[in-house]
């Protein structure tokens, strides 16, 4: 999705979210229902991050409720019992999905004025429409990330489906007024969702109950290391990250990876005697972009080059073989346009600089991890 369009939809979605929250807080019964649902979710084990994304939520609510010791459940209950103290709620980033859920509960009751319910329904529909638009328009981003995490155990569709879960979380939590590109913000969420699925699904045997608690810490360390370095950690790294012995790590890790021993070493020149753990990235994750990404890149380049003046666009098309052109040298282009070779080079560089400044963030999505532009 074009960066400018992404930003426009994100800003419209944030305004719709604030509008729905304002409507819910404008009526005591509606704000009480919001707090009741929040408290219900907390009491049933739902993490607060699935309700509100603001990291300062606990300090804001607890301070607003005049509690000395931070206890979020008590603070929410205090606000529920004291409507006059609810002003701090307006500064929190309640997730759109939670606000839509609360608005639906409000509309299912007969305790509100008809005109208020009409406004509430319209606000919820506007937010839901923009939310769906934002998700649908960024599916290509999920496909891009999923393509880089292909495994022999999970299908591409499985990875995309899980990546969409991460995309939805990013859409729900994104704040367009903090100066970040949406793609920059969303990619870690998508990677996190996909990597968690990989860690879960590539264990072909479930761990015994006695090992489950220790295993979760190990798998979490493996996942976090892979997210940071795009490489699976060695045993020595895992020992430093987890409070586990080498034997415990080997025992737990033996349940991980579908069909191979992680300590197995193949005696061939290509792998240079490396253990499977050291080769896992090369064996499991395909680095080249597949046909889907190639087509997306081609279409996107056609769109961005078309934004340039005619002469600059023509030179880039000829120079890099775009729009079915054959790649041409600077001198060949100069001869065809009847200008100097140096002039063609200057126009080419100016055009590339414009594209980098205007579309650099989007074009970065098509790079391999170690590439630069």
pLDDT, tens digit (0-9, with 9 covering 90-100), for 241-300: 887 788 778 777 665 544 444 455 544 444 445 554 455 444 343 344 345 555 666 676
The residue to which tokens 């990989």 are assigned: 198
Separation CA 176–CA 45 (nearest Å): 30
Residue whose structure tokens are 């939809």: 9
Return the closest-CA partner of residue 258 out of 203, 331, 311, 221.
203
pLDDT tens, 323-365?
766 778 888 888 888 889 899 999 988 888 887 777 765 555 5
Architecture label for domain 140-201:
Orthogonal Bundle (1.10)
Query: What residue ranges of the chain are covered by domains with CATH 1.10.10.10?
Result: 291-364
State both tokens at 189.
């969420």
Q: Give the CB-side neighbour count of residue 34, counting CA atoms within 13 A.
A: 28
What CATH topology corresponds to 291-364? Arc Repressor Mutant, subunit A (1.10.10)
Is the alpha carbon torsion for 243, 249, 252, 257 positive or negative? positive
pLDDT at 298: 67
Provide the whole-model pTM: 0.55
Q: What tens digit of pLDDT does each residue of 48-99 get?
A: 888 988 766 766 665 655 554 557 888 888 888 888 888 888 888 999 999 9
Please determine, for residue 235, whether its predicted confidence score (pLDDT) is greater than 50. Answer: yes
Q: Are 53 and 173 in contact (CB under 8 A)?
A: yes
Give ranges for CATH 1.10.1740.10 in the chain: 140-201
Q: What is the mean pLDDT of the chain?
A: 77
3 has pLDDT over 70: no
């Amino acid at each position: 999705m074009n960066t400018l369009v992404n930003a426009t939809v994100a800003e419209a979605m944030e305004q719709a979210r604030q509008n729905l929250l304002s409507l819910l807080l404008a009526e005591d019964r509606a704000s009480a229902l919001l707090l009741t649902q929040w408290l219900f979710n907390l009491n049933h084990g739902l993490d607060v991050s699935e309700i509100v994304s603001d990291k300062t939520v606990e300090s804001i609510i607890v301070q607003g409720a005049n509690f000395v010791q931070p206890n979020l459940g008590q603070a929410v209950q205090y606000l529920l019992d004291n409507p006059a103290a609810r002003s701090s709620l307006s500064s929190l980033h309640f997730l759109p999905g939670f606000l839509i859920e609360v608005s639906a509960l409000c509309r299912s009751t007969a305790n509100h004025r008809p005109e208020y319910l009409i406004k509430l329904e319209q606000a919820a529909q506007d937010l839901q429409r923009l939310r769906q638009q934002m998700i649908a328009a960024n599916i290509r981003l999920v496909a891009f990330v999923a393509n880089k995490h292909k495994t022999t155990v999970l299908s591409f569709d499985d990875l995309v489906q899980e990546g969409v879960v991460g995309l939805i979380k990013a859409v729900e939590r994104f704040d367009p007024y903090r100066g970040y590109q949406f793609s920059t913000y969303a990619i870690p969420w998508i990677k996190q969702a996909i990597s968690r699925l990989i860690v879960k699904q590539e264990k072909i045997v479930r761990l015994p109950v006695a090992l489950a608690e220790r295993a979760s810490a190990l798998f979490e360390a493996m996942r976090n290391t892979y997210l940071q370095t795009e490489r699976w950690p060695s045993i020595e790294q895992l020992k430093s990250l987890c409070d586990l012995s080498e034997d415990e790590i080997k025992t737990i890790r033996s349940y991980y990876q579908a069909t191979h021993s992680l300590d197995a070493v193949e005696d061939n020149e290509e792998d240079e005697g490396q253990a499977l753990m050291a080769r896992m990235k090369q064996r499991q994750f395909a680095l080249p972009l597949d046909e889907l990404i190639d087509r997306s890149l081609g279409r996107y380049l056609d769109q961005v080059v078309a934004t340039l003046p005619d002469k600059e666009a023509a030179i880039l098309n000829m120079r890099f073989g775009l729009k079915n052109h054959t790649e041409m040298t600077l001198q060949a282009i100069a001869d065809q346009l009847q200008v100097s070779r140096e002039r063609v080079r200057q126009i080419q560089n100016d055009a590339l600089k414009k594209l980098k400044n205007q579309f650099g963030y989007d074009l970065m999505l098509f790079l391999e991890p170690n590439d630069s532009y």
